[in-house]
Amino acid sequence: MIDYIYLFLYKLFKILLSILSHKAKIRLIKSLAWLAYKISSKHRKIIAKNLSIAFGDTLSKEQIKDISLSAFANLVDTTLGIIERDGMSKSDVVKNVKFEGDEIVQKYIDSNKKIIFITGHQSNWELLSQSIAIHFGITLVGVGRKLDSEVMDKILKENREQFNVEMVYKKGAMKGCIKSLSQNKAVGILIDQALGRDISIDVKFFGKDTTHTPIASILSRKFDIDLIPAFISTDDYKNYIVKVYEPIKSIKTDNQERDLSILTQAQANAMEKAIREHPKEWFWMHKRWKGFEEY
């Protein structure tokens, strides 16, 4: 029954988005974000806790509320974007997306080098993966969690694949990434969620201890692949900028533990830099410092 409800809502919003003006769409995004903010006291508390960890007592109550509402709005924009781009042409997808630093990626492509992108839940992260695949004419394989709804997971899979984005699920992600790289496909990894300490590497993030996924570091070291940070941002939910940062160079010495630690900390630093540049666009609802801080 729940699958049919999801499917009904998906089709309803698809119709709405096809007839709404951009201004009306913005009002819808902000209204849904406000509703989610009001309903979810749990996530309001998580956001406030995370902001306190990251910025101490430097933010006013108004700033915390503003960032919180923006975090919800970015989630709504990402979700509605998936629906809106269903069946859209590739040229229309990237029509309002500009790239900064795309020559960095192009050099790797021209040199026939393997590519691993690292990014996070920043702004419209679904549009980021699709834009990269379309802009560079590559197949991008992302690592993600399978949706609980089989119907919606199938729709999302088809939505991504029409723009040359494929997925491997977290269970068996390493094997899937290795296979994808062997097929000369690029891999994209979201690096900003906390993991159990038994399957992660400890890093400093905003000056505080937390855990970090090791998968990108392991792949980088094992196969001598540089890591390319890339993040997306927007000011108006219409025009987007994909910013590509300088690569994190692969390391392989006799000290594997140290190599992985250096590579992983470099990723945390890249993620922190992107958040500091656009603090209102990160998904602050994650319990990012879980295991070291009480939520």
Domain count, the chain: 1
* Listed range (32-46, 167-181, 202-216) with the worst mean pLDDT: 167-181
In a domain, 78, yes or no: yes
In a domain, 289, yes or no: no
> Which structural domain, as residue segments, surrounds residue 157?
2-281
Q: What percent of the chain has pLDDT over 90?
A: 87
DSSP state of 290: B
Q: What percent of the chain has pLDDT over 70?
A: 100
Task: Give residue 6's pLDDT.
Answer: 84
Mean pLDDT of 3-19: 90
Task: Give residue 151's pLDDT.
Answer: 84
Q: Looking at the predicted structure, is the pLDDT value of residue 223 above 90?
A: yes
Q: How far apart are CA 70 and CA 10, in angstroms?
A: 22
Task: Give residue 280's pLDDT.
Answer: 97
Q: How far apart are CA 255 and CA 271, in angstroms?
A: 25
Does this model's pTM top 0.85? My answer is yes
In a domain, 288, yes or no: no
Task: Give residue 146's pLDDT.
Answer: 81
Confidence grade of residue 285 (pLDDT, cut at 50, 70, 90): very high
**Kind of pairing between the strands at 201-205 and 208-212:** antiparallel
Q: Are 66 and 280 in contact (CB under 8 A)?
A: yes
Task: Give residue 262's pLDDT.
Answer: 98
Mean pLDDT of 227-242: 97
Confidence grade of residue 4 (pLDDT, cut at 50, 70, 90): confident
Distance, C-alpha 72 to centroid of its chain: 14
Q: Looking at the predicted structure, is the pLDDT value of residue 209 above 80?
A: yes
The tokens describing 41, both together, are 């006291």
Q: Looking at the predicted structure, is the pLDDT value of residue 1 above 90?
A: no
Residues 6+ apart with CB under 8 A from 15: none
Confidence grade of residue 79 (pLDDT, cut at 50, 70, 90): very high
The whole-chain average pLDDT of the chain stands at: 95
Mean pLDDT of 282-288: 96
DSSP state of 148: S
In a domain, 155, yes or no: yes
* Listed range (4-8, 48-52, 110-114, 251-255) with the worst mean pLDDT: 4-8
In a domain, 295, yes or no: no
Mean pLDDT of 20-48: 97
Write the pLDDT tens digit of every residue in 106-156: 999 999 999 999 999 999 999 999 999 999 999 999 988 887 788 888 888
More confident call, 245 vs 159: 245
In a domain, 268, yes or no: yes
In a domain, 46, yes or no: yes
DSSP state of 282: B
Task: Give residue 287's pLDDT.
Answer: 96
More confident call, 229 vs 2: 229
In a domain, 258, yes or no: yes
